[in-house]
Amino acid sequence: MQSSTQTHPAVRDLMEKTPALRFVLEILEEAGHPAHLVGGSVRDLLMGREASDLDVSTRATPETVAALFGRRGCKVHPTGIEHGTLTVVVDDMPFEITTWRRDVATDGRRATVAFAERIEEDAQRRDFTVNALYAARNGEVIDPTGLGLRDAARGRIRFIGEARARIEEDHLRILRFFRFSASHAGGVEDGEDLAACRALKEHLKSLPGERIGTEMLKLLVAPAAAAALCEMARSGLLPIVLPDLDLEAKDVEARLARLAAAEQVQGLHPCPVRRLACLVEKAPREALKLSRKQADGIEAIVEASRSSMAPGELGYRKGAVVAEDAFLRRFALGCDRSLGTDLIEAARRGAEQVFPVKAADLMPAFSGAALGRELARIEACWVAGDFLAPRDKLLAK
């Protein structure tokens, strides 16, 4: 592939508005070491998105980087020194600066790397063409693979070189292909890359749950998550990463599409816990190595969605967020044909209520287990009365 370049206004604008980034690049270049903004930030700018992490790639070794910025009073942290990465803080902005690398050996889970002399070598060890774009201080974007600029313009996720070789180097790239297709390409494109993911899907079994979980939670909130997960199910990948999932591909897509539409109507941001709860009956704690909070949240939504409580009581007993997510789950599953704002409002109102009777109000007439039963009876009456009965009336009963 022949390298190409292109000056991009969004990249030039970022450089102009971020003096700390220009400073980092200038220090390296003035010392004779080529340096560029690289990866996700460049990709996102070219695809009409905001840049997030500002990562820098350079020919300078970590020792040289540390010396150059240490002399200027910048804080330098060896955050990934084993991979050639340092974090340099300039004007309270952190920049990950990584030395150009090339793979020496790979086993599908980790790579042994050596420092490289050419930017083309660094580009070739990356996963997708749109992630191998390098931006200079003047806004010029360098595309060593010759395909990244074109793919960014048309919204295509494509492996660098031969897809099977890239996957054999790092098995997680199968999930990253689906995740980036869902977040940046509007869906999964049928072709050699998808075929390679299908052919090598058994490699996913070699990955630790933590890495699978990180990718899946990001995929779930992507704009085209429904289409991507549907393709994963159709291709036999989803049962590998979610072995307890018992849904056909069309049901996966339908549930997530309905949920995404409801989230938009309600003005809610996509939530991986909510979206996963719409696909499973039990939290995949081990498969995705979920945190206790995430797993408990999924199971709380599933349980609440099965409840026969009135919306107000559900909000009162489970909280507004769980109650609202439970209604969204029921809608996603097709249990409810509509998701009225009256349900949400009733649940939110219920969540705001505070039971006006305390245990001390019933003592000494009641004690022990009898006290708990009487308190629960009065609370049930108060809830059934739409939280309207005042304290003195409840005590009179």
Q: What is the pLDDT of residues 36-49, one digit of tens each?
A: 999 899 999 999 99
> Is the pLDDT reported for residue 7 higher than 90?
no
Give residues with Cβ within 8 angstroms of 184, minimum separation 6: 43, 47, 130, 155, 157
Determine the topology of domain 1-160 in CATH. Answer: Beta Polymerase; domain 2 (3.30.460)
DSSP letter for each residue of 68-103: HHHTTT-EEEEEEGGGTEEEEEETTEEEEEEE-EEE
pTM of the model: 0.91
> Per-residue pLDDT tens for 161-199?
999 999 999 999 999 999 999 999 999 999 999 999 999
* Structural contact between residues 381 and 369, judged by C-beta atoms closer than 8 angstroms: no
pLDDT at 1: 56
Q: What's residue 300's pLDDT?
A: 98
Of 26-35, 105-114, 177-186, the least confident: 105-114
Q: How far apart are CA 42 and CA 135, in angstroms?
A: 7
Second CATH level (architecture) for the domain 162-241: Orthogonal Bundle (1.10)
Q: Cα 9 vs. chain centroid, distance in angstroms?
A: 28
Whether 292 shows a pLDDT value over 60: the answer reads yes
Per residue in 242-261, pLDDT tens?
A: 999 999 999 999 999 999 99
Q: According to the model, what pLDDT value does residue 204 have? A: 97
pLDDT at 397 over 80: no
Residues in the chain: 397
Q: Is residue 326 a contact partner of residue 301, using CB atoms and an 8 Å limit?
A: yes
Cα pseudo-dihedral 334, 336, 340, 345, rounded to 10: -110
State residue 81's pLDDT score. Answer: 87
Beta bridge partners of 4: 143
Q: Which residues pair with 225 in a beta bridge?
A: none
Share of the chain above pLDDT 70, in %: 99
| Mean pLDDT value of segment 218-246 | 96
Q: Is the pLDDT of residue 303 over 70?
A: yes
* Domain segments of the chain as ranges: 1-160, 162-241, 262-353, 356-396
Whether residue 2 is predicted with pLDDT greater than 70 in this model: the reply is no
